[in-house]
C-alpha cells in the first residue's frame, strides 16, 4: 500500500482520570491502546518512518468557546464533585442525569481530548500530515451548552471548525454504535459539512438518527443517517458502508474527512449490540485511506476496554498500511507481544476481536407494508443489484441502503465548485474597515438580537425535532406552547426528556423557571425560542 504521513497524538496523562467506580466509560483504555501500540517492534508502529509521535498542547477555554457557550465552558472549568449540585441547579442544566458525573479532573480531561483533535486538524491544515490520529477524541454527543452520553466537550466540532478555515468541504463519518447527534446538530444548517452516521436505532441512546433527519435550510440533505439493527456483521456492514461512502465521495467531493472510530460497535461490547470483528471495524479506515484524502481518525465509545485497545492498535497499523504485519492475511488474529497489560488480553493473548453467534436482524425480510413513502421521498427509487433468475425479497438492510443512496442522489447538481463555496459577503464596508465610521449602536444591538434569536431557534430545533423536550408533563407536541411569564416562579410540571446511555431509560427533568439561584443566570421559556436573564 502507498505510504501516508501519519501524526499520532497522545498525552500520557489521559489514562489517569476516572468517571467513577462502576461507570462504564474508562479513559484508561486509551493508555492501554498506547501501551499495546508501543509494544510492537519500533519499525512497525511508533517508530515507523512515516509516523510522527506528538504530545498535543491542551485546549484553552477560548478555543472551546468556538462552539460551546461561555457559560458552559466556565462551568466546566470550575465544577467539582462538591460543587456540582449547586452549579447545575440541582441537576437541571449542564450535567443532566448520571451519565456525566463531575469527576475530579474533568476540566483537564476535556482539555486533553479537545487539544488532541485541534492539533490533528492543525497538522492537516498545514499539510504536515496526510492522516492524524487522536484516540482520546471522538466525543460526539456533547452539545453546545450541555454534556451528554459521557461527552463534555465536542472535540469533533472544534476540529471541523478549524478544518473549514482551509478546506471548502468536510465529511464526517461516524461508525460508533450510537448516533453522532452532537456533531449532526452543530452542522445541521450548513452545506459545507456533511455528516454520515452508521448507528443502532430503536429504543437506544440517544433516540435520534432516523433517515428522515436530513438537515435544515442550506444543510438540507447534508445530514445522512444509516439506522441499523442488532447483530450487524462484517459482511452486512460492508454491504452498506462501501456503496454509501463511494457515492458520498463522488457527489459531495470532500476536501478532508474525519472518521470517528467508536469501538462500541465491536462484537462483545458491554453497551453495544453489533457483531463486528476487529477487521470489519478497521475496514472503514482502510477504505477511506485508499482515496488519498486528508483524514483524521478519532476515538469515541467502547466499553470492553481490552477490545478497544486491540481495535485502535490495529487501526493505527491500518493508517500506516502495515496491518498485515500484525495480523497475517486471511487470519482472524495475530500473536500479541508482551506489554504492560498483557494479562488483560487473556486467555488467547491475540490481537483479535472475533464475532459471536448473534443473529443479524438486518437480514430479516422487510415488511412490504411498512412503507416510508412520505412526501419527502416520493421520487423514483434507485434500483439495487439483484440476482436474476431467482425470487428476490428485500431485507431490512436493503431498504436502508436504497433509501440512503436515493438521498445522496438528490444532492447531485447542488454542490458548486470549491471556489464558489468559499466565497463570502464582506461583513463590513471599506470605510468601516479603515475606520472612517462605525455602525451605530442601534444597528449593533439589532444584530445581537438577531444572533440571539437564531441561537434560540436552534435550541428549539434540537428539543422538538429530536424529541428531547415534552410540554406540560410529557406531551410530545412540536408546536410551541404559550410563553409563561418569566417573572413568576413556576410550579408547573413541564419537563424535558433525556435518555441515559447506561440504562437506555428515558427520564424527565424540570424546565428552568424562577428567579436567580434556581437554574443559573440564563433561562429558556418553554417554547424554546426566548430566554431572559434573571
Q: Which residues are catalytic?
A: 141
Name residue 8's beta-bridge partners. 53, 133
Q: Which residue is associated with the grid cell 500520557?
A: 12
CA distance 485 to 457: 19
Contact 203, 232 (CB under 8 A): no
CA distance 274 to 277: 9
Give the closest residue to 270 by CA, choosing from 177, 155, 196: 177
Measured over the CA atoms of residue 147, residue 149, residue 154 and residue 160, the dihedral's sign is negative
| Kind of pairing between the strands at 295-298 and 256-260 | parallel
Provide CB contacts within 8 A for 179, sequence distance 6+: 197, 199, 201, 206, 208, 209, 225
Buried b or exposed e, range 168-195, using 16+ CB within 10 angstroms: bbbbbbbbbbbbbbbbbbbbbbbbbbbb
Give phi and psi for 370, each to the nearest 5: -90, 75
DSSP 97: S
Element (H, E) at 433: helix 430-434
What is the 3-state secondary structure of 227-263? EECCCCCHHHHHHHHHHHHHHHHHHCCCCEEEEECCH
Other C-beta atoms lying within 10 Å of the C-beta of residue 9: 23
Other C-beta atoms lying within 10 Å of the C-beta of residue 378: 8
Contact 176, 264 (CB under 8 A): yes
Other C-beta atoms lying within 10 Å of the C-beta of residue 451: 10
Measured over the CA atoms of residue 344, residue 324, residue 322 and residue 118, the dihedral's sign is negative
Phi-psi category of residue 193: left, alpha or beta, with phi > 0 → left and psi -120 to 50 → alpha: beta
CA distance 79 to 505: 26
Provide CB contacts within 8 A for 324, sequence distance 6+: none
CA distance 205 to 95: 16
CA distance 477 to 250: 39
Amino acid at each position: 500500500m502507498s505510504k501516508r504521513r501519519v501524526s499520532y497524538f497522545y498525552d500520557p496523562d489521559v489514562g489517569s482520570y476516572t468517571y467513577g467506580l462502576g461507570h462504564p466509560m474508562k479513559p484508561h483504555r486509551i493508555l492501554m491502546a498506547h501501551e499495546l501500540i508501543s509494544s510492537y517492534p519500533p519499525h512497525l508502529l511508533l517508530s515507523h518512518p512515516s509516523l510522527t509521535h506528538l504530545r498535543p498542547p491542551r485546549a484553552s477555554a477560548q478555543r472551546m468557546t468556538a462552539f460551546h457557550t461561555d457559560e458552559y465552558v466556565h462551568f466546566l472549568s470550575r465544577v467539582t464533585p462538591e460543587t456540582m449540585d449547586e452549579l447545575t441547579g440541582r441537576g437541571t442544566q449542564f450535567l443532566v442525569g448520571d451519565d456525566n458525573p463531575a469527576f475530579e479532573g474533568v476540566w483537564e480531561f476535556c482539555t486533553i481530548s479537545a487539544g488532541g483533535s485541534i492539533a490533528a486538524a492543525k497538522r492537516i491544515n498545514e499539510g504536515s500530515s496526510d492522516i492524524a490520529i487522536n484516540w482520546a477524541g471522538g466525543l460526539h454527543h456533547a452539545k453546545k451548552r450541555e454534556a451528554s452520553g459521557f461527552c463534555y466537550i465536542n472535540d469533533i466540532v472544534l476540529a471541523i471548525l478549524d478544518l473549514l478555515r482551509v478546506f471548502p468541504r468536510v465529511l464526517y463519518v461516524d461508525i460508533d454504535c450510537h448516533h453522532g447527534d452532537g456533531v449532526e446538530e452543530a452542522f445541521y444548517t450548513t452545506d459545507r459539512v456533511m455528516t454520515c452516521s452508521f448507528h443502532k436505532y430503536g429504543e437506544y441512546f440517544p433516540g435520534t438518527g432516523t433517515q428522515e433527519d436530513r438537515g435544515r435550510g442550506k444543510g438540507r440533505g447534508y445530514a445522512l443517517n444509516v439506522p441499523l439493527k442488532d447483530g450487524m456483521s462484517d459482511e452486512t456492514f460492508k454491504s452498506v458502508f462501501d456503496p454509501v461512502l463511494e457515492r458520498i465521495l463522488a457527489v459531495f467531493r470532500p476536501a478532508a474527512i474525519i472518521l470517528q472510530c467508536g469501538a462500541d460497535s465491536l462484537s462483545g461490547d458491554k453497551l453495544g449490540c453489533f457483531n463486528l470483528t476487529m477487521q470489519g471495524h478497521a475496514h472503514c479506515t482502510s477504505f477511506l485511506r485508499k482515496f488519498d484524502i486528508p483524514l483524521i481518525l478519532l476515538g469515541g465509545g467502547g466499553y470492553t476496554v481490552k477490545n478497544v485497545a486491540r481495535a485502535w492498535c490495529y487501526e493505527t497499523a491500518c493508517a500506516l498500511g502495515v496491518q498485515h504485519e500484525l495480523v497475517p492475511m486471511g487470519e482472524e488474529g495475530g500473536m500479541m507481544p508482551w506489554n504492560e497489560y498483557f494479562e488483560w488480553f487473556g486467555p488467547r493473548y491475540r490481537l483479535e476481536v472475533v464475532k459471536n453467534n448473534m443473529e443479524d436482524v438486518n437480514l430479516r425480510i422487510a415488511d412490504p407494508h411498512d412503507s416510508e413513502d412520505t412526501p419527502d421521498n416520493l421520487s423514483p427509487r434507485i434500483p439495487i443489484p439483484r440476482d436474476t433468475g431467482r425470487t428476490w425479497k428485500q431485507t431490512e438492510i436493503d431498504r436502508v441502503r436504497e433509501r440512503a443512496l436515493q438521498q445522496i442522489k438528490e444532492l447531485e447538481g447542488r454542490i458548486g465548485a470549491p471556489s464558489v463555496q468559499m466565497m463570502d459577503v464582506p461583513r463590513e464596508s471599506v470605510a468601516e474597515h479603515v475606520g472612517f465610521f462605525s455602525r451605530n449602536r442601534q444597528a449593533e444591538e439589532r444584530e445581537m438580537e438577531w444572533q440571539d434569536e437564531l441561537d434560540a431557534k436552534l435550541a428549539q430545533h434540537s428539543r422538538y425535532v429530536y424529541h428531547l423536550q415534552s410540554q406540560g408533563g410529557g406531551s410530545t407536541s412540536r408546536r410551541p406552547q404559550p410563553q409563561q411569564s418569566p417573572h413568576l416562579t413556576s410550579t408547573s410540571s413541564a419537563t424535558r426528556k433525556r435518555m441515559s446511555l447506561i440504562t437506555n431509560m428515558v427520564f424527565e427533568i424540570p424546565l428552568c423557571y424562577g428567579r436567580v439561584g434556581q437554574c443559573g443566570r440564563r433561562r429558556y421559556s418553554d417554547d424554546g425560542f426566548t430566554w431572559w436573564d434573571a
